[in-house]
Amino acid sequence: MTLKLLVGLGNPGPEYDATRHNAGFWWIDALARQHGAMLVPEKGFFGNAARLRIGGQQVWLLQPMTFMNRSGQAVAALARFYKIAPQEILVVHDELDLLPGQAKLKRGGSHAGHNGLKDIQAQLGSPDFWRLRLGIGHPGVKSEVVHWVLRKPPAAERDAIEAASERALQAVDELVTGQMEQAMRRIHGGKPDAPAARKLAPAATQPGES
C-alpha cells in the first residue's frame, strides 16, 4: 500500500525549533526543501501543509501546529477530509529508546508514552499507521525525560540525528510507493549514500508547549 500523508511531529514556536522533540519537524522541512515545496498554514487542518508528488504519487506533508500532545487533531482532520486510511500515513517522530544516529521504521504498535503518537492513535481510532522513529537517546532517568526532549542536543548528537534522517530521506520514494522492506534496509543500516547535502534546519513557527 502506498503512503498519502507524511507527518512530522514537533512543537511550534522558535523556542522549540532546535529541541530534540522537534526531530519530526526537521525531517519534514528537509523533505519539503528537497522537492522545492513550501509548507503553508492550513487552518482547516490545524497545521502547516504542502502537497507534492513523490515517486509518481500525490502526497501530503503536514506539521501539526496544535502542540505535541494534540497532534492527532491535525492528522485526523486531514486524513478524514481526504479519506486517507491509517496504514497510508507515516508519522516521523523523536524516539527516546534509540540512540542518536539510529532510525527505525515500523507499522502499528504502542505509543510507548509519546504524547504525539498517543493523541494520533486516539484521534484516528487506530494504531495502524507507520512510524519513522528518529533516535534522540534517553537521559537515563524517567523524571528527566520532559526536560531532555525540550532541550537542544549537543552538536555531535545533532549531527548523528541528521545522518539518520538523511538515510530516511534517501528512502522516501520507496516509502511512498510502499516498498517498505527496501526502505527498512536503507533506513536501519549503514551510512547515507552521500554526505548530507540538506541541513535539517527547523522552520519558524509559532509559540507552544510540549
Sorted by where each begins, the domain ranges of the chain are 5-189
pLDDT at 113: 85
Neighbour tally for 208: CB within 10 Å? 17
- Across the range 161-169, mean pLDDT stands at 96
Q: How far apart are CA 61 and CA 28, in angstroms?
A: 7
- The reply, when asked if residue 69 is annotated as ligand binding, is yes
- Give the pLDDT score at 58: 95
Say whether 16 counts as a known binding-site residue.
yes
- Mean pLDDT computed over every residue of the chain: 90
pLDDT at residue 196 tops 80 = no
DSSP helix/strand/coil, 170? coil
**Per-residue pLDDT, 110:** 87
Question: Is residue 115 marked as binding?
Answer: yes
Tell me what pLDDT residue 200 has. 47
> What's the pLDDT tens digit per position in 65-108?
999 999 999 999 999 999 999 999 999 999 999 999 999 999 99
Question: Which pTM was predicted?
Answer: 0.89
pLDDT, tens digit, for every residue of 9-65?
999 999 999 999 999 999 999 999 999 999 999 999 999 999 999 989 999 999 999
pLDDT of residue 193 exceeding 90:
no
Which is the catalytic residue, given 21, 93, 138, 188? 21
pLDDT, tens only, 126-152 = 999 999 999 999 999 999 999 999 999
Residue 190's pLDDT band, with cuts at 50, 70 and 90, is low
| Residue 194 confidence (pLDDT) above 70 | no
> For residue range 174-184, what is the model confidence (pLDDT) as tens digits?
999 999 999 99
In the predicted structure, residue 204 carries a pLDDT above the cut 70: no
Q: Is 22 annotated as a binding residue?
A: no
- The pLDDT of residue 105: 97
Residue 43's closest CA among 13, 6, 81, 14? 81
State which CATH number among 3.40.50.1470, 3.30.70.1290, 3.20.10.10, 3.40.50.2000 fits the domain covering 5-189: 3.40.50.1470
Catalytic, 111? Answer no
Cα angle at 40 between 207 and 147, to 5 degrees?
A: 30
pLDDT for residue 209: 39
Q: What angle do CA 59, 187, 38 make, to 5 degrees?
A: 30
Residues 6 or more apart whose Cβ sits within 8 Å of residue 135: 95, 97, 98, 99, 100, 101, 102, 103, 104, 160, 161, 164
